[in-house]
Structure 1
């Protein structure tokens, strides 16, 4: 309405190469065309403004907007899906002050939320990993889906580190499987944590933590500059309890003290504070304060029971990048700020 009709010109090859080299904000899922369409149709920027913002020629902008119309990005059916997700992602970034957010559109129930979010997070991780990164990896349904969706690439300098100990009950989504899948797909080194996730006593933990092998593994763990993890609720149906990693009896004292989220086997309350208990003296793995020190903290979580746990992590400042589904994003934005938040 009132806009100049787009020219029918095509960019030359160097212009297309420059366009292909663009790195859109994460909420646009790596799609420069959606980015350009958003700036033009939603934010009202001129083609010249977009040219300066993206660092490409105006002719390339013209062609990108034309492609957006031709491929259905700008249409009643498809544009609504893309733009709604971008709107939610930007609202989450603004409200919680995180660096990036990617919201995966719903598909009418055709696939599981954790699979769709896992695939989107795999693409994001593939685009952000750099040679010599040390990536910490937890476990869970969504993290496993991510690990299985990683596109093979060659990043031999990357180390992928298991951040929680092992447990027989977690074999379906074990930390070992999640870490090894990612390492195998990028040609990186996998550093396993050779210890149980939960041991029988505090004394046993002290003994194991003095073993030279574990000392070295924790030293490597302390060098992580990126971490990717899921978060669980404290309900019996959540992965942490459903797999047998934690028993309902072990979790009850934490629930009684206000815990609403489980991260790497540790408990967090609604305000993002660590909830300590007897179990912590028997857990072997990265602690919440350890996680908070890692510069890039990518949380991948989806499903109707994840809004409150995600809100707790955001309140505690444990998230720099969030990847979630549309329904969870809507639920998260509808929730009130936690007490003291």
Structure 2
């Protein structure tokens, strides 16, 4: 049974406790399990305490993104696809990770990639989904001067991921950025109403802002039946089947791409309040973050379509892209 860690400690005591846990983990190299055993709490408690130590600025993690992009796999992918940089979330050869564990690891690496790519004064567009949420959850407190963070997809929620604005708000907060959420549902009930809503002055101004991004941060989904687009209720199984039959291999900002990265105009596109594929392509820097070899066709489509300048993937997907 966990020994309770009181939430009523004076702030100085709490910070001292968090500092001690951080020192054991980052300084002495103990595993989370070893620390949990020593302190007689669960491993989940230690995970939360380490996160709190980062969020409160007790721990200042500075990872040079050049080390993450310096592996032979990263170099080979850069050369193969003409990318500016590639970041790899590496797993040990004998390490078997669940998708959730791989996604969390990728999220941490993607944070370093984002901070490596972002520059003072940038306007950053942030998408939605499990992968982007993993980045938001792992994002350290690291202000970047004069940055704007904009929501790329209107408000939506699913059983897998909190509301789409959460990704944008969390990343904006950690960057100390001005946050522009998209004040509309991501999906409207019919195309005519969606068109009228996109013409509303407030929504129109927000969407126009997405056409002038310096950095787009997003992921891409595959077109399997369990894709998040269907799970979130934004497309039906029949619509997804029709998209696959039309050649769709990937989904970006709830829009379908074919194998060459061209957009396929099929439902629910006409009912969306979200960034256009052209908005992402127009951004000077385009950071694609993808987890899993099952998304290799989708990731390759984004690369072929000119939607990627910087790529962050796990080892399995990186290998599939290089040799698949």
**TM-score (norm: length of structure 1):** 0.71
Secondary structure of the 1:227 match is strand
**Deviation per CA, 1:201-224, whole angstroms, max 9, x where unpaired?**
121012101211102211222221
Map of 2:164 onto structure 1: 175
Map of 1:94 onto structure 2: 79
Q: Give the counterpart of 2:138 among 140, 145, 149.
A: 149
314-323 or 160-169, which deviates more: 160-169
Is 1:109 aligned to residue 110 of structure 2?
no
Is 1:213 aligned to residue 198 of structure 2?
no
Report if aligned partners of 2:212, 2:282 keep a CA contact under 8 Å in 1: no
Map of 1:160 onto structure 2: 149
- Give the Cα separation in 2 of the matches to 1:110 and 1:307: 18
What does 1:48-59 correspond to in 2, within 5 Å?
A: none
C-alpha deviation, 1:171, in angstroms = 6.8
Is 1:120 aligned to residue 109 of structure 2?
yes
Report if aligned partners of 1:137, 1:175 keep a CA contact under 8 Å in 2: no
Is 1:184 aligned to residue 169 of structure 2?
no
C-alpha deviation, 1:110, in angstroms = 4.2
Map of 2:288 onto structure 1: 299
Q: Give the counterpart of 2:274 among 278, 285, 292.
A: 285
- Give the Cα separation in 1 of the matches to 2:97 and 2:84: 30
**Deviation per CA, 1:208-256, whole angstroms, max 9, x where unpaired?**
0121110221122222110100100011122222232322222222111
Report if aligned partners of 1:160, 1:190 keep a CA contact under 8 Å in 2: yes
Secondary structure of the 1:300 match is strand
- Give the Cα separation in 2 of the matches to 1:170 and 1:221: 27
Is 1:326 aligned to residue 315 of structure 2?
yes
Map of 1:65 onto structure 2: none
What does 1:69-84 correspond to in 2, within 5 Å?
A: none
- RMSD across aligned C-alpha pairs, in angstroms? 1.9
**Runs of 5+ in structure 1 lacking a partner?**
1-22, 36-85, 336-341
**TM-score (norm: length of structure 2):** 0.75
Secondary structure of the 1:305 match is helix
C-alpha deviation, 1:325, in angstroms = 0.6
What does 1:215-234 correspond to in 2, within 5 Å?
A: 215-234=204-223
Question: Which is higher, the Rg of structure 1 or of structure 2?
Answer: 1
- Give the Cα separation in 2 of the matches to 1:128 and 1:278: 33
**Runs of 5+ in structure 2 lacking a partner?**
1-62
- Give the Cα separation in 2 of the matches to 1:286 and 1:163: 5
Secondary structure of the 1:250 match is helix
Report if aligned partners of 1:162, 1:191 keep a CA contact under 8 Å in 2: yes
Map of 1:28 onto structure 2: 67
Map of 2:16 onto structure 1: none
